[in-house]
Amino acid sequence: MSQVEPNETSKALKNDLEEDLQQFIDKKQNEKQALIKLLNFVEKQGKSKANSKSSSKSDNSTIL
């Protein structure tokens, strides 16, 4: 029976490691999704500011 316990222990450890790895992967995927959303938001903000600046510059050039 002492030979069975190490196998069960190693299987339990392997399962724990697999669960930990899966949780780690899920966490990293969630972080990646959040960063992608943040990047898209920042890009949109940058484009809208760039468009408003170019609009105001073109307005100024027509006034001059």
Tens-place pLDDT, residues 16-63: 999 999 999 999 999 999 999 999 999 999 888 888 877 655 555 555
| Residues sharing a CB contact under 8 Å with residue 36, sequence separation 6 or more, in sequence order | none
Tens-place pLDDT, residues 9-27: 999 999 999 999 999 999 9
20: phi then psi, degrees, rounded to nearest 5: -60, -40
Q: Please tell me the number of Cα atoms within 13 Å of 7 on its side-chain side.
A: 4
Closest CA to 15 of 36, 33, 23, 38: 23
